[in-house]
Amino acid sequence: MVSLHRSHLLFVPSEREEEQQGLSYTTFPTTNADRGSSQEAGLEVPTASSRQRNQLIAITLIFVGRLGEKELAAVSLACLTANVTGWSVLEGLASALDTLCPQAYGAGFQKLVGLHTQRMALFLLSTSFPIILLWYNSYVLLHVLLQDDEICKLARNCLCILSFGCPGYALFECGKRFLRAQSHFSPGLYTFIVCIPIHVFLTWLAVAHFKLGINGKAASLSMTRNLLPFGLAICSWVFTDGECWRKVDKKIFQN
């Protein structure tokens, strides 16, 4: 029996051919409980990772809430705008890897997993430029939604600083799906567990100690987001053998 996968031909022997060639396979029964536990484990870790991501913003709002009502309103507006026009866009585009990478890995094309990830990372980094441009010119948009010049200016300044965290967040979303395709669901959660205390310290240092206000809050959040891909890189070095990663070359610009 011959099955066609993309541009490659995969020859899969039939049962009769396996008997003629003397091939034998040992199968182990899988109970419904085993299937359910494995599926639950795969779903719980990404869900916990998304909750940890929201905690970064919650921690920031706790510190900024002590500065005043307008500062809290400006930061809330900036985070909402960043989530709708930036972070959710990058995450949504990166979700294409949830289909491409597992298909390539299951078909035995390990290097194709790395190629998909590298192409998506390049695409998301390119997409970050119009997002950053929008945030730098967001005062007009914010002023339409809220008729308060001071809050709109503070939110716009906050968005300008948050824009420095877009590249790190884009690479984190790609790396997280790169590891998920290899059945490693926990590295994203481990990275957040390590980065949350760092974020708390940076936010306290910028807001409470150096008195940088909401600009310090935005800077600490951007620095934390840029630390996330480094955490995934360490986890990838620990949990995988590098079979899916490939050398970066001009192929990432093709197709």
CA distance 70 to 152: 10
pLDDT at 2: 41
**pLDDT computed for residue 35 by the predictor:** 37
Specify the pLDDT at position 55: 76
Q: How far apart are the first and last CA of the chain?
A: 30
From CA 95, how far away is CA 26, in angstroms rounded? 35
CA distance 173 to 50: 11
String of DSSP letters for 7-29: TEEEE---HHHHHHHT-------
pLDDT at 24: 39
For 37-92, how does the pLDDT look when each residue is reduced to its tens digit (9 = 90+)? Answer: 333 344 444 555 556 667 788 888 888 888 889 999 999 999 999 999 999 999 99
CA dist 184 and 193 (Å) reads 16
- Which structure tokens are listed for 206? 């910028």
> What φ, ψ does residue 3 adopt, rounded to 5°?
-120, 140
Q: Distance between CA 245 and CA 114 in Å, rounded?
A: 5
Helix axes 110-136, 149-162, angle to 10 degrees: 150
> Which residues of the chain are modeled with pLDDT < 70?
1-53
